[in-house]
């Protein structure tokens, strides 16, 4: 899941959830997550069923090289936990500091919209 990108917390490739909040793991000292729930991309699926955000990225083919996918997915999961009906502008603002070098931004935004729909159909984030 988490990828080592910049090592400075600026690209988002290493994003994990710490107690449900998106965090850049490359800048987190291990001591700062003691006694906290840390979730990686691999921990999102439940009972062999992908999280709706993961499924949306597959459905919309929202990756070229895939290096940024971890950060994009984890950031969106955290956003939709807080704001299940986040609109496109809110999604863009949230993803602004997750870098995609391939330029798959259009597909990523389509995946975010699809994820929002899947979450609504499921009835909860």
Q: Flag whether 109 is in a domain.
A: yes
Say whether pLDDT at 124 is over 60.
no
| Residue range(s) defining the domain that contains residue 84 | 43-122
Q: What is the pLDDT of residues 59-103, one digit of tens each?
A: 999 999 999 999 999 999 999 999 999 999 999 999 999 999 888
Q: Flag whether 113 is in a domain.
A: yes
Predicted structure pTM score: 0.94
The token pair at 63 is 């990756």
CATH number for the domain that contains residue 66: 1.10.150.120
State how far the Cα of 72 lies from the Cα of 95, in Å rounded to an integer.
7
Q: 107 falls in which pLDDT band (50, 70, 90)? A: very high
Q: Flag whether 58 is in a domain.
A: yes
Beta bridge partners of 49: 46
Q: Flag whether 38 is in a domain.
A: no
- Number of domains into which the chain is organized: 1
State how far the Cα of 97 lies from the Cα of 63, in Å rounded to an integer.
17
| Secondary structure of residue 31 in the 3-state scheme | helix
């Amino acid at each position: 899941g988490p990828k080592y990108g910049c090592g400075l917390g600026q690209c988002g490739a290493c994003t994990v959830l710490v107690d449900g909040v998106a965090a850049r793991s490359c800048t987190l000292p291990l001591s700062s997550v003691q006694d906290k729930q840390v979730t990686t991309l691999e921990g999102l699926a439940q009972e062999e069923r992908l999280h709706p955000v993961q499924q949306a990225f597959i459905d919309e083919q929202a990756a070229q090289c895939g290096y940024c996918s971890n950060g994009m997915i984890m950031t969106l999961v955290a956003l939709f936990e807080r704001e299940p009906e986040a609109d496109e502008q809110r999604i863009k603002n949230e993803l602004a500091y997750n870098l995609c070098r391939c330029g798959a931004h259009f597909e990523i935004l389509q995946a975010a919209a699809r994820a929002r729909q899947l979450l609504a159909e499921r009835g909860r984030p």
